[in-house]
Amino acid sequence: MPSHEIIAPKAGLPVYFDIYNSYNQLIPSHWHNHLEVLYIFQGTMHIVRNDEKYTINERDLFIVNSGDIHLTRSPGNVEVLLLQIPYEFLNQSISGYKTIRFKEHFPQNELSEDPVFQGMIHHLLTMRELYQQGEDGYQFLFSSSLNLFLHSLYSHYALRQNLEEKDKAAKHLSRLKEIINYVEQNYIEPISLSEAASLVALNPEYFCRSFKKYTGFTFMEYVNMVRLTHIHGDILDTDDSITDIQERNGFTNYKVFNRMFKEAYGCAPSRLRASRIK
Q: What is the pLDDT of residues 21-68, one digit of tens each?
A: 988 888 888 888 999 999 999 999 999 887 788 999 999 999 999 988
pLDDT mean over 128-139: 95
Those residues with Cβ within 8 angstroms of residue 54's Cβ, 6 or more apart along the chain or in another chain: 46, 47, 48, 62, 104, 105
Residue 167 confidence (pLDDT): 67
Q: What is the pLDDT of residues 163-191, one digit of tens each?
A: 666 666 677 778 888 898 899 999 999 99
**Nearest of 21, 14, 113, 121 to residue 63 by alpha carbon:** 121
Instruction: State the CATH class of domain 164-277.
Output: mainly alpha
Write out the residue limits of the CATH 1.10.10.60 domain(s) in the chain: 164-277
Least confidently predicted of 24-33, 144-153, 158-167, 261-270: 158-167
CA distance 269 to 62: 31
pLDDT mean over 125-140: 95
Tell the CATH topology of 16-160.
Answer: Jelly Rolls (2.60.120)
Write out the residue limits of the CATH 2.60.120.10 domain(s) in the chain: 16-160
Tell which wins on pLDDT, 54 or 1: 54
Residue 134, classed as helix, strand or coil, is: coil
pLDDT mean over 102-123: 97
CA distance 193 to 223: 10
Those residues with Cβ within 8 angstroms of residue 20's Cβ, 6 or more apart along the chain or in another chain: 79, 80, 82
Residue 3 confidence (pLDDT): 47
| pTM for this predicted structure | 0.84
pLDDT higher than 90, residue 211: no
